[in-house]
Each structure stands twice: as structure tokens, then as C-alpha cells.
Amino acid sequence: MRRWMSAALAGAALMMTAMPAQAAWKSYINRQLGFSFMAPGEVKTDVGNFRGAIAGPRQTIVYRSVEDNIEYKVTVMSFLQAQAEGATLLGERQYMFQDRKTVLMDTFSRVGSGKDAVYGRKIVVDLPDNKGRTTGVFYFTKGRLISVEATVLPAKGSFASPDPDRFINSIAFVLSHTEPGAVELETPKLE
Amino acid sequence: MRLTALAILVGATLMATPAMAAWRGYISHPLGFSFSAPGELKVEKGTYRGALAGARDTLVYSFVDDDIEYKVVVIDMSDKANDAATLLGEAEYIFQEDKKVLMDTFGRVDRQFGRKLTIDLPNNAGRATAAFYFINGRIISLQATVLPANGDYDSPETARFVDSIAFFTVRAPDDAIELPAPPK
């Protein structure tokens, strides 16, 4: 009996080592830009570029991590001088996200409730050439367009992971709800 | 004999077809949009309420033809225009809340991105197709409802109406009628 139990324990230990290591999820906050989110892995800050017919060329701030073959990305664009155009800028961003891709879901999304509510959209697409599946949510609030995207890469093997939803549902704009000890994100200077 | 038969056929066809009003173009230069609709124009005031928007008066241009209701609803949000995206999202959400959604897709007109939705109204009260845009501090919504008395829920007239919106005045027909100012 003891031998049998030892074998079972050893087997379980072997399985554990064979499974990919899962990083802990941490909370991140950027008080200057007014949002917080949760993500696994090491979140790196970068500067990127975006171009839309209406938005024009924009520099973006990107917070990105990759964990267990899922890429997690929060992209921020500032439109402080064009806040009244927010609906169209948001629509353009959403349209570009799904353009020429297979749309699996396109529905309302909302962060907060009542007067604190921010309405956006949640869209799930399959990327061309079997490059993976991306879940994105898009919001425009306080002059900033915020995209939260999680891409399950083909190496992951299955699109059934709940982690993309966990990531995109973690975005918050009322910072008082952010858990204590959240990692403060830096805001890179844009040109 | 042939002429008589032809006359009877034409007469029967005309009797069987409901009277359809001609479509006319309308434009509001102060509000910055144009559209086309059939039937007689009525200008009304309405109300709108959203958790974010609060209580608002609305300006409604309405028409009824062949048991289809056509409405252009204008909601002034200029005092909260910086929340354009969320106010528009809220209006779209309220339109479809607790209803059966048949279509929910992008609307794109004259450099404006919005949304087009088709819903079945509760209690078999008809089918409504609507488009929502936020421009110049206002929500502009075109809504066409096929009433049960019409019964043709696949009527192309609703799409013709919501797709007739234009924000570039150069796209309005030359003979478009200037919309009257809202009632005081």
C-alpha cells in the first residue's frame, strides 16, 4: 500500500514538473493615466505606434507581458484635445481590431456601474494564418483610448483558457477598488 | 379584349398594393445631418434618461408610412461631450436591453463610427432597426420600427432609412427640405 502511494505521489510530482510554470497574477496601477489591471508574468513598458484614418498617427504606451503562450497587452492612446470625438475614435479602433479577421464575438462591455460606468466593446477574433485568438476590450475615458488585449498563441495549443477573460475583466477606472500593494506602472514620455 | 384584361390587371395590382408615400430628403444645417424618409413629417419633443446621461429632452423628427414608424432622435449632450464614447455606448445599450438582438454591427458614415442594431420588441410589438452616432455634442439616432400591422419584418425600408443618414451636407439631395427648428 505504501509503495503504491509513493508511486502515486511521485507520478503527481512528475506531472507537476511537466506542466508549464504559471506565474502569479499581480495588480498593476497607473494613477496618472487612471486605470489598473491584473496580469501574470513580468509586465514591461514600451512605446508603440498607431495610425487610423480619423485618429491619425499616434504614439502609444504599451504595457505587455507574456505568460504560458498568452500575450497580455494594455495600450493607451491620448486624445486629450479630442475628447468630444471619443465615440468615433473608439469606433475606429474597434473596427480596425476586427477588420479582415474572423469575428467570434462582438458585444457590449462595461466597467463600473451607475455614474461611474464606462461603456465599451468586447471583441474576440481569430487572427489570420492561424496566428492565435485575441480577446480585446476597448474603452474611451477621460481623453484616453484604452485597449486591453489577450492573445492566445498557437503554441498554447488550446483556446479554452479562462486567462484572457480574467485579464480583460480586471481593467478598472475607479482606482479606489484596486487592491493594496498594486505595482505602480511608469508612464514613459512620448515625443 | 386584350386592353380590357390589361386594365383589369393593372387595376387589381394597384388595389392590392398599399399606398406608399414618396421618400423625401431632409436636412438640418444647424444640427449637421441629412436623411430621407417617407410620409408626413412631425416634430416632437421627447425624453431620454440614462444613468450617465441623466434626464434629457430630445428632439424627434417622426414619420409613419405603411405601418412603419421612422424617427430621428436628437439628444443634446454638449455639456458632457467629453464622455461621448460612453454616452453613446449607454444609449446603444439601453436600446437593446432586455430585448432580442438580431443584429449588432458597426455603422460608418462620413468619418463617423457608430453602431447599427436590430431588435425584436417584446410582446410581438414589432421589429426596430436603429443607428446611433455621436457628433457635435449630440447623439443622433435613426430608428425605424416595423409594426405588426405591416408584418413584413424583412422590409428593406428600415435599412433604407437608417442608411440614409449623412453628416456631410454635400451628400444631401439638392431638393432636401430644411428641418424646422424644435418646438419651444
The Cα B64–Cα B41 span in angstroms is 8
Q: What is the pLDDT of residue B11?
A: 53
B181: confidence class by pLDDT, cuts 50, 70, 90 = confident
Which residues of B make CB contacts under 8 Å with A? 51-52, 81-90, 92-93, 104-106, 108, 111-115, 133-135, 137
Put simply, the answer to whether B111 touches A53 (Cβ < 8 Å) is yes
Residue-wise pLDDT tens digits, A17-46: 445 566 799 999 999 999 999 999 999 999
Residue A67 lies inside a defined structural domain of this protein: yes
pLDDT at B15 over 60: no
Put simply, the answer to whether A87 touches B134 (Cβ < 8 Å) is yes
pLDDT for the residue numbered A6: 58
Q: Does residue A61 fall inside a structural domain?
A: yes
Cα dihedral across residues A33, A36, A37, A43: positive or negative? positive
Q: pLDDT band at residue A176, thresholds of 50, 70 and 90? A: confident
B145-158 mean pLDDT: 96
Query: Is A181's pLDDT higher than 70?
Result: yes
What ipTM does this complex have?
A: 0.84
Test the A interface: residue of B52, B77, B79, B86 with most A CBs within 10 Å: B86
Superfamily per CATH, domain B21-178: Mog1/PsbP, alpha/beta/alpha sandwich (3.40.1000.10)
SS3 at position A85: helix
Give the residue numbers spanning the domain of A55.
24-184
DSSP string, chain B: -HHHHHHHHHHHHHHHSPP-PPEEEEEETTTTEEEEEES--EEEEEEEEETTTEEEEEEEEEEEETTEEEEEEEEE-GGGGGGHHHHHHHHHHHHHTTSEEEEEEEEEETTEEEEEEEEEPGGG--EEEEEEEEETTEEEEEEEEE-TTT--TT-THHHHHHTT-BSSGGGS-TTPEEPPPPP-
Q: Do A84 and B84 touch (CB under 8 A)?
A: yes
Write out pLDDT tens, residues A125-164. 999 999 999 999 999 999 999 999 999 999 998 898 999 9
Residues 33-72 in A contacting B (C-alpha not used; CB under 8 Å): 53-54
Burial class (CB in 10 A: 0-12, 13-18, 19+), A150: buried
Query: Which of B82, B92, B105 to mutate to probe the A interface, most A CBs <10 Å?
Result: B82
CB-based contact (8 Å) between A147 and chain B?
no
Q: How confident is the model at residue B23 (pLDDT cuts 50, 70, 90)?
A: very high
* Residues in chain B closer than 8 A to A120 (CB atoms): 85-86, 89
User: Domains in chain A: how many in total?
Assistant: 1
**Pairwise CA distance, residues A151 & A130, whole Å:** 12
Band the pLDDT of B135: cuts 50, 70, 90: very high
Q: For position A167, which CATH number holds?
A: 3.40.1000.10
Report residue A7's pLDDT band, with 50, 70 and 90 as the boundaries: low
In angstroms, the CA B168 to CA B160 distance is 18
For an interface test with A, give the residue of B101, B106, B135, B136 to mutate (most A CBs within 10 A).
B106
Quote the minimal CA–CA distance from B67 to chain A in Å. 31
Give the C-alpha separation, B89 to B53, whole Å.
11
The full set of domain ranges for chain B reads: 21-178
Q: Is residue A144 part of a domain?
A: yes
For the stretch A102-106, contacts whose Cβ atoms lie closer than 8 Å and that sit 24 or more positions apart, written own/partner, are A102/A126, A104/A133, A106/B104, A106/B105
pLDDT of B19: 63
Q: Is A87 a domain residue?
A: yes
Residue-level pLDDT at B84: 97
The answer to the question of residue A84 being in a domain is yes
Query: Do B137 and A140 lie within an 8 Å CB cutoff?
Result: no
pLDDT surpasses 60 at A10:
no
A115 inside 8 A of chain B by CB: yes
Instruction: Give mean pLDDT, residues A62-72.
Output: 97
The pLDDT score that the predictor gives to residue B6 is: 53
Condensed to tens digits (0 to 9), the pLDDT of residues A79-106 reads 999 999 999 999 999 999 999 999 999 9
What average pLDDT does this structure show over B19-42? 94
Closest chain A residue to B117 measured between Cα atoms?
A107
CA contacts within 13 A on the Cβ side of B169? 8
